[in-house]
Amino acid sequence: MSGTAKAALGVLVGRPLIAIALAAAVIGIMLLHTHRQKTPVTHRVEHVTLSDAQQMQLGAQEYAKTLRQNGARIVASGPQFAEVQRVAKRIESVARRDKPNFVWKVSLIRKKEANAFCLPGGKIVVYTGILPLTENDAGLATVLGHEVAHATAEHVAERIERNRLTEVAATIIAGGVAFTPEQFIRVTALLGVGSSLPFSRKQESEADHIGLVYMARAGYDPHQALAFWKRMQRASRGKEPPEFLSDHPSDAHRVERVRGWLPEAESEYTART
Ligand SMILES: [Zn+2]
């Protein structure tokens, strides 16, 4: 490496903000084309800038990090592992019709926390702590349908767009470029792992709707979703509500809205059987 190049690199390493600005400027050119798209099932028009490939890369990086941090706790055999793989496979085959580019994969992590999430691009993480609440395959299908819906409806990309964080996301996608801790926190929060910038209520409700239709299309009785959300409603009144609810704020009307979408889900359920 020439002395000049070394000096230039030294300047960049010493000033991560300049490095970010440069990377963002370079990649920004690729990201100028905001596309209009329609969400599956609800057909809402939304605007996102990140392409499928970029969302997949963002999600894959976060997924690899999660697996690295939980290496010893990854469950790779046994009945809980089998259940998660079995249900995820059916939900994924439905979601694939809406997002054929995404590469779906699920991991089960032994953790008391009652939670699950799906990263942009189709990587799903389930904590064993949620299984007592889901109770059965249809309950788990309700959770996975909801989480996968956030990915197919590109809710993270929509949040990134709305919060004008596209350049920060692009910098992370570019790989390895230093970014400030504050920017990192904001983007990982958008990925749904942190909770300082959770999905909006509208997105939550939309994920309930799409998820309900997905579980029905996957062959699970949609009435079981209603039973699951009622269980969650009861659990939220307890001393320690499940973590799942802090990421997925519930309100008194959630169960009623789900009931309202039941006829649509029922017709999808009977159409396939
Ligand atoms: Zn959600």
Mean pLDDT of 218-228: 97
Q: Quote the pTM value.
A: 0.81
pLDDT of residue 266: 97
Residue with more model confidence, 78 or 15: 78
Q: Exposed (0-12), middle (13-18) or buried (19+): which is 7, by Cβ within 10 Å?
A: exposed
What pLDDT digit, counting tens, does each position of 74-89 carry? Answer: 999 999 999 999 999 9
- CA of 54 from ligand 1 middle (Å) equals 21
Mean pLDDT of 157-184: 68
User: Are 250 and 232 within 8 A, CB to CB?
Assistant: yes
| Range in 107-116, 167-176, 255-264 with the lowest mean pLDDT | 167-176
What pLDDT digit, counting tens, does each position of 19-72 carry? Answer: 666 555 555 544 446 778 899 999 999 888 888 988 898 888 889 988 999 999
Strand order in the sheet with 116-118: 74-75, 105-109, 123-127, 116-118
Of these residues, 46, 147, 158, 206, which one is catalytic? 147
- CA of 248 from ligand 1 middle (Å) equals 5
- CA of 210 from ligand 1 middle (Å) equals 11
Give yes or no: 147 in active site: yes
- CA of 19 from ligand 1 middle (Å) equals 34
